[in-house]
A and B are shown apart, each in its own frame.
Chain A
Amino acid sequence: MNENLEPNEMIIHLGPQHPMQPGPFRLNLRLNGETVMGAEIELGFIHKGIEKILENKTYLQGITIVDRICYLVALTNEECFVGCTEKLLGIEPPERSQYIRVILEELTRIQSHLLGIGEFGEFIGFVSMFMYTIREREEVLGLIDMVTGARVTHSYLKFGGVRADLPDGFKEKTISVLNNLKKSVDDFEEMFHTDRIYRERTVGVGVLTADVAKNLGVSGPALRATGVPFDIRKNEPYLVYKDLDFKVCTETAGDCFARVQVRLNEIRESIYILEQCLDRIPNGPLFPENTPYSRRTPVMRVPAGEVFHRVEDPRGEMGMYMVSDGSDKPYRVKVRGPYYPTLQALPPLIIGTTVADVAAISGSMDGCTSEADR
C-alpha cells in the first residue's frame, strides 16, 4: 500500500484502538484529502484460536468455548454447535426444548439488533441513541438472564435439549417487556425517519446492490437490505421455524438507512415470533425419552462422520463444519462466522467515500470483530 503514494496522499490507520470499531482490527486508509482512495484490513489482534481449542475439548466443554466466539450472540453460536453434534448423534430435541431454544434465540436476535442500531447511532454522532437502545436491551437481557442464569455467556443448551425449563412468571414478564419494546421500536423508527440530519448521513451512503452483495458473499441484514430474501430460517428451517409464521424483512435501497430499517423490522418480526412461541409452547419433557444425554451428560463418544449445519445469526449466516472421528473430542470444527465475509467486503465498499462515511458504513454492518477473528 505504500507504493505509488502521491504527494498529496497519506496513509492513515484506523485501529486497532479506535472508537469506530466493534473490536480490534486495523483499517489502513489511503486518503487524498478526505476521500478514501484505498483501503486494507488487517486482522488477528484478538485471534483466540477457537478452532484449535475446540479440537482439544470434549463436546460438552466445547459448548462453553463456542459461547466466546461472539459475545453478543452466544446462544446462536451454541445452537450451531449443538445442532452439529445432534446431527452427528442422530437425536432431536423434543418440541418443548425446541420452542425454548427459539424463544431464547429470538431474544438474542432482538438484543443484538438493539445494540447494533444504538452503535450505529453513535457512529454517526448520535450518542444518545446508544443509551436509548441499550436501556431497552437491558430489559431483554434480563429475560435471558432469568432463563439461563447469565447475561452474556450462557452455556445453556445441551445435546438434545436445554439445561433448565422456563422459570415461573417468564411468560407474563416477557409479554410486558415486549409490549414496551414495540413502542420503543416505533419511537426509534419515527426518530430515524423524521431526522433530516440522520437521513442525509445514511440515505445513499455505502450502497450495496444485490448482485455486488451476492458476489461479495455478504449475508444477514446487509444482504436483505439489498432486496435478497435470504434467511436460513426460511431457506433451511431448523428447530420449529417451519411451523412459525414470519416473513423475511427486506428493503431495496441497500444503503445504511435500509440496513438499519431491516434491523428495526426484524426486531418487530422477532417479537411476533416470540408471541407465537409463548402461545403455542407445549408441555413435555426437555430431553428425548431414554436418552443418555440429559442434563447430566456422560463422557460421550460421537459417531464418526461430518456435518455442516447452518443457523441464522443476527448478523447473517452462521455455519459450522464438524468432523468427528468417533472419539470424545471433535476432530475438526470450522466456524463460518457471518461477520467475516461482511468485514472482508468493507474495503471495496468504502473506497471513494469520505472518512466520515467510513464510520457510518462500518457501523451499519453491525460488526463483531471477536467473531471474525475467532
Chain B
Amino acid sequence: MSGIIDSYIPVAIFLVVALVMPPMTMFMVKQLSPRSNAASKYTTYESGSVPTGTARIQFNVEYYLYAIAFVLFDVEVLFLYPWTTVYKGHGITSIAVVEMFAFIFILLFGYIYLWKKEALTWVK
C-alpha cells in the first residue's frame, strides 16, 4: 500500500511547484515591469472598436449533442482501461475478449444510432 502512496509523493511536490511558480513569476514581473495608467488601455480588445455588449452571454453551444456522446464514449474508454491489464496472463483472456467485444458491439449500436439520428452533425 505504501508503495502506491510513495509513487505519488513526487506528484505532490510537483503540484506544489505548479501552484507556486506562476504567482511567483507574476510577482517578479510586477517588480520588474513599468506601469502606466490610461483608461483606454484597459478596455477589452475588439480589433480597435469599442465592444458592444458583454461576452458573458448564453452561448449557443452548437455541439451539445457531441458533449453527451462524449460522456458516453469516454465512459466506454474508462471501462476498457481495466480490461487491458487483465487481458494477458490471467487465464481469462478468451472470456475477456468475448465480453469486451460484446460491450463494444453494444456501444457501436449506439454510435450508429447517433449517426443516423444526425446527432453528429454541426447544428446551425
Tell me the A residues contacting B by CB distance below 8 Å: 2, 5, 7-18, 26, 28, 32-35, 352
Q: A2-B52, A13-B51, A35-B124 are in contact. Are A8 and B57 (CB under 8 A)?
A: yes
Name the distance in Å between A369's Cβ and chain B's nearest Cβ: 14
Q: Which residues of A contact B58 (CB under 8 A)?
A: 7-8
Q: Which residue of A lies closest to B60 (CB)?
A: A33
Q: Which residue of A lies closest to B46 (CB)?
A: A13
- Complex interface bits, B39-58 against A, C-beta within 8 A gives 1, otherwise 0: 00000001111011101011
Name the distance in Å between B41's Cβ and chain A's nearest Cβ: 15
B53, A10: Cβ atoms closer than 8 Å: yes
User: 16 A–B contact pairs at CB < 8 A?
Assistant: A8-B57, A11-B52, A14-B47, A15-B49, A16-B47, A16-B49, A18-B47, A26-B47, A26-B49, A33-B59, A33-B60, A33-B62, A34-B62, A35-B62, A35-B124, A352-B124
B16 within 8 Å of A by Cβ?
no
Question: Quick one: which of B48-92 are within 8 Å of A by CB?
Answer: 48-49, 51-53, 55, 57-62
State the CA gap A33–B59 with chains docked (Å): 6
Q: Which residues of B contact A12 (CB under 8 A)?
A: 46
The 6 closest A-B pairs by CB, nearest first: A33-B60, A13-B49, A17-B48, A18-B47, A11-B52, A8-B60
Q: Which residues of B contact A34 (CB under 8 A)?
A: 62
Query: Knowing that A13-B47, A16-B48, A17-B48 are A-B contacts, what are 13 other residue pairs whose CB atoms are under 8 Å apart, sorted by A's residue number?
Result: A5-B53, A7-B57, A7-B58, A8-B59, A9-B60, A10-B53, A13-B46, A13-B51, A14-B47, A15-B47, A32-B60, A35-B60, A35-B62
Q: Which residue of B lies closest to A42 (CB)?
A: B49
Q: Which residues of A contact B51 (CB under 8 A)?
A: 13
State the CA gap A60–B53 with chains docked (Å): 50
Name the distance in Å between B70's Cβ and chain A's nearest Cβ: 18
Q: Which residue of A lies closest to B45 (CB)?
A: A17
Contact pick for A11, options B48, B53, B60, CB 8 Å: B53
Contact pick for A33, options B47, B55, B61, CB 8 Å: B61
Q: Which residue of B lies closest to A17 (CB)?
A: B48
State the CA gap A316–B85 with chains docked (Å): 67
The main secondary structure of chain B at its interface with chain A is loop
State the CA gap A251–B104 with chains docked (Å): 48
Q: Which residue of B lies closest to A352 (CB)?
A: B124
Q: Which residues of A contact B47 (CB under 8 A)?
A: 13-18, 26
State the CA gap A5–B53 with chains docked (Å): 10
State the CA gap A11–B59 with chains docked (Å): 12
Q: Which residue of B lies closest to A24 (CB)?
A: B48
Question: Quick one: which of B87-101 are within 8 Å of A by CB?
Answer: none
State the CA gap A9–B49 with chains docked (Å): 18
Name the distance in Å between A179's Cβ and chain B's nearest Cβ: 42
Q: Which residue of A lies closest to B58 (CB)?
A: A8
Q: Which residues of B contact A16 (CB under 8 A)?
A: 47-49
Name the distance in Å between A173's Cβ and chain B's nearest Cβ: 42
State the CA gap A12–B48 with chains docked (Å): 12
State the CA gap A59–B96 with chains docked (Å): 89
State the CA gap A7–B58 with chains docked (Å): 6
Q: Which residue of B lies closest to A35 (CB)?
A: B124
Q: Which residue of A lies closest to B57 (CB)?
A: A10
Q: Which residues of A contact B52 (CB under 8 A)?
A: 2, 11, 13, 28
Name the distance in Å between A213's Cβ and chain B's nearest Cβ: 24
* B47, B51, B62 pick with most chain A CB within 10 angstroms: B47
State the CA gap A18–B47 with chains docked (Å): 5
Q: Which residue of A lies closest to B48 (CB)?
A: A17
B62, A15: Cβ atoms closer than 8 Å: no
Name the distance in Å between B7's Cβ and chain A's nearest Cβ: 42
Name the distance in Å between B121's Cβ and chain A's nearest Cβ: 13
Name the distance in Å between B91's Cβ and chain A's nearest Cβ: 47
Q: Which residues of A contact B62 (CB under 8 A)?
A: 33-35
State the CA gap A26–B47 with chains docked (Å): 9
Q: Which residue of B lies closest to A18 (CB)?
A: B47
Contact pick for B55, options A9, A10, A26, CB 8 Å: A10
B57, A15: Cβ atoms closer than 8 Å: no
Q: Which residue of B lies closest to A13 (CB)?
A: B49
Q: Which residue of A lies closest to B47 (CB)?
A: A18
State the CA gap A14–B52 with chains docked (Å): 12
Q: Which residues of A contact B46 (CB under 8 A)?
A: 12-13
State the CA gap A17–B49 with chains docked (Å): 8
State the CA gap A10–B57 with chains docked (Å): 8
* B57, B60, B61 pick with most chain A CB within 10 angstroms: B60
State the CA gap A14–B46 with chains docked (Å): 7
Q: Which residues of B contact A352 (CB under 8 A)?
A: 124
